[in-house]
Amino acid sequence: MNDNESSLTSLISAFGRAYHSKYDTPKIFDDFIAKDIITKKEFLDISEHMTQGILFFNKEIAQRFQDDQKEILKWITQVQLSPTPLARAAYCEKVLLHEVLLGLKQYVILGAGLDTFGFRHPELKNSIEIFEIDYPATQRFKKKRLEHVNYNIPDNLHFVSMDFTTTLSYQDLINEGFENKKTFFSLLGVSYYLTKEENANLLTNLFAKVPSGSSIVFDYSDEKLFEETGISNRVENMVKMAAASREPMKSCFTYDEMENMLDKSGLLIYEHLSPSEIQDLFFRNRTDYLSAFETIHYIHAVKK
């Protein structure tokens, strides 16, 4: 992964959060800092790129709104781009903040990208240590961007560079102050791109050196990933776009497969949200295009 690929991936994710914070109501997840991390030019460039791709996403929408670029951008963002990142972030932070109330002291963000949790919650600076893990290129890009917009990195935010999907180094975490105490992990938007064996190994390695009560929130796709088309073919489009970007989706799970994999890693499912439950929890009664993505589930699993 080179610098450009790394920054583009994180920028598109930040774009979706910034768009939602600026234009959508009610808010599912309000990342009010995302707009500061991406430049106005980047926001406009991504917007233009998305609208120019409308024929790939939906020819009918392209025809219906051919003279309304703003509506096309809204449709693409709300139908294809934002539903899963917004809802999974909202769910993850809901669980995390509850854990903090129960005394949690360590939070590890796997594949952090341009995550802004540490900046949106300054009230937690003396309560929790945050460790962001991602590729070195992504973290270099983020640090430069934070410096450019004059955001000081909080003392409780630590950057740990590694490819955790191949080699998880606890020593690198320890070097940044990580301790053997109850820990909360987030793994969002990652499981699809790993094989089942890689997912199993990652979970086993993650929880090998943390105490009971430590937990993780992650999203995964069910067994219909490569069969389901979804609203306006958005599931099929997601799979095609991943393949075209040379990051193909590799795994999906039945609930029983997921439960067995977690059990072998010493984890119990504390909470599981199906697409219909995600719809009810985060998208109910909306009047825009936002709705829960088909095939995508969320799990909160706890170490026995």
Within a domain: residue 265?
yes
**Domain around 249:** 101-303
Shared domain check, 165 and 71? no
Comparing CA positions, the residue from 299, 304, 243, 242 lying closest to residue 95 is 299
pLDDT at 5: 58
State the Cα–Cα distance between residues 161 and 45, nearest whole angstrom. 28
Residue 204 belongs to what H/E stretch?
A: helix 196-206
Comparing CA positions, the residue from 164, 181, 176, 175 lying closest to residue 110 is 164
Provide the 8-state DSSP code for 194: S
Residue that the structure tokens 């439960």 belong to: 259
Residue 117, C-beta contacts closer than 8 angstroms, at least 6 positions apart = 93, 107, 109, 130
Within a domain: residue 95?
no
State the Cα–Cα distance between residues 262 and 269, nearest whole angstrom. 8
Residue that the structure tokens 């030019």 belong to: 41
Shared domain check, 293 and 254? yes
For 78-99, the pLDDT digits (tens) are 999 999 999 999 999 999 999 9
Q: How many domains does the chain have?
A: 2
Shared domain check, 279 and 155? yes
Within a domain: residue 94?
no
Within a domain: residue 129?
yes
Shared domain check, 203 and 69? no
For 210-269, the pLDDT digits (tens) are 999 999 999 999 999 999 999 999 999 999 999 988 889 999 999 999 999 999 999 999
Shared domain check, 273 and 161? yes
Shared domain check, 196 and 137? yes
Shared domain check, 126 and 65? no
41 vs 44, 97, 99, 260, CA distance in Å? 5, 34, 38, 47
Given a cut of 50, the residues of the chain with pLDDT beneath it are 1
pLDDT at 4: 54
Shared domain check, 298 and 251? yes
Shared domain check, 158 and 64? no
Shared domain check, 74 and 202? no
Comparing CA positions, the residue from 190, 145, 140 lying closest to residue 164 is 190
Task: Choose the final residue of a domain: 81, 112, 129.
Answer: 81
